[in-house]
Amino acid sequence: MTKSLVMASSILLLGSNAYAAKALKGEFSHNARSTVIQTNRLDSKTEAYAVGLQTLNDLKAKTSQELNDRFGLNLRSPKEKSSVSIADGAYITVQELMDEQGNIVYQGAVNVTYHFSTGRND
């Protein structure tokens, strides 16, 4: 009888683990990535900062779906697609460059981190 009880308990525990694994299948995991978006090259540092700021403001105004497309995430479910957002702490830098003709030009760089959720794959 004891062997039967141990066997039944083992089957019950193994079965509940399999059930739990299926139940967790629908969970989502949080992801964060960073990227740098380069602006066009401009004649002044002030212009480069202004274009960088406009680029950042445009990103912040986008919907989650537009951000999904912009960052090429290819998220599938509506919950995943609606989870994309720009994190706080984005910043703009400007780099001084010399073009092929020897002219000094300025290029803005928008540094952003974005968050999104994805379903876990089992």
* pLDDT, tens digit, 9 for 90 and up, residues 77-86: 888 889 999 9
- The residue range of the domain holding 100 is 28-119
On whether residue 114 sits in a domain, the answer given is yes
The residue ranges of DSSP E strands in the chain, in sequence order, are 28-42, 85-86, 91-98, 104-119
On whether residue 6 sits in a domain, the answer given is no
Q: How many domains does the chain have?
A: 1
**Where residue 76 falls among pLDDT bands split at 50, 70, 90?**
confident
On whether residue 10 sits in a domain, the answer given is no
On whether residue 23 sits in a domain, the answer given is no
**Whether pLDDT at 5 is above 90:** no
> For a pLDDT cut of 70, what percent of the chain falls above it?
76
Which residue in 97, 122, 121 sits closest to 109, CA to CA? 97
On whether residue 12 sits in a domain, the answer given is no
On whether residue 20 sits in a domain, the answer given is no
**Where residue 28 falls among pLDDT bands split at 50, 70, 90?**
confident
The better pLDDT of the pair 80, 3 is held by 80
